[in-house]
Amino acid sequence: MNGPYFATVPSLMIRHELRLLASLWLWAARRTDGAAAGGTVFGYTRGQGAMMAGLGFVCVIETVMMSVLLRDWPTVHLVVLVLDVYAIVFVVGLHAASVVRPHVLDPDAGTLRVRQAVHFDVRIPLERIASVRRELRTTHERTDGELDLAVGAQTSVTVELAEPVAYVTFFGRRREVRVVRLHADDADGLVQAVERARDGYAVP
């Protein structure tokens, strides 16, 4: 890795934080990012709701406890309070990003857009999908050419591609994949919708 690559990391982190904050606004406004007029959205937050709520609760308890422990050191207390509050905002922002950035199937554009909060956004042309199936997996090994977007440590849909598609990693690296595994609250509905869209897309 070279110097210019590392130089981009801070800007990528800042962009990530800004997108989390934007997700909070979209969530409060009950709006969805990237959902086309003719597209169908498929959420994936049901598998992580309890975990995120638990994590948020722990952050709140920590904030209260640290406020009590550091009440005699105002400066330290203020710094830790700011960090703790930001941690709570970060956790809520992660959940909000998952809610407002669902998977989107857009037959008109001929794409299946697979996402995971603000971390991943992969557009898969329907004509490149060789097969799509319901497949529950709770363990995933890191393999070249495969992308696992687990939620709550599981994926429920596997998409195999006839040709690779490219995506950009969290740190801005370009990768190509032939297999994408993802989670959807309505895995059967997503699989059936993609199959119908593929059939319709294949018709001249």
Task: Give the tens place of pLDDT for each residue, 3-34.
Answer: 444 446 667 677 878 888 889 999 988 888 87
The pTM of the full predicted model, rounded to 2 decimals, is 0.82
- Comparison of pLDDT for 204 and 95, the residue scoring more: 95
The single residue listed with the structure tokens 């203020």 is 78
Q: What is the pLDDT of residue 6?
A: 44
Q: Is residue 184, in this structure, part of any structural domain at all?
A: yes
Residue 62 resides in a domain = no
Strand order in the sheet with 40-42: 40-42, 103-106, 111-116, 120-125
Residue 197 lies in a domain: yes
In a domain, 58, yes or no: no
pLDDT exceeds 80 at position 95: yes
Does residue 94 sit within a domain? Answer: no
Measure the CA–CA gap between 103 and 54, rounded to whole angstroms: 25
Q: How many domains does the chain have?
A: 1
Q: Domain limits at 138?
A: 36-44+102-202
Instruction: Quote the CA–CA distance of 149 and 46 in Å, as a whole number.
Output: 14
Decide if 30 is inside a domain: no
Query: What is residue 126's predicted lDDT score, i.e. its pLDDT?
Result: 95
Following DSSP, what letter does each residue of 3-71 receive, concatenated?
Answer: HHHHHHHHHHHHHHHHHHHHHHHHHHTT--TT--TT-EEE---TTTHHHHHHHHHHHHHHHHHHHHHTT
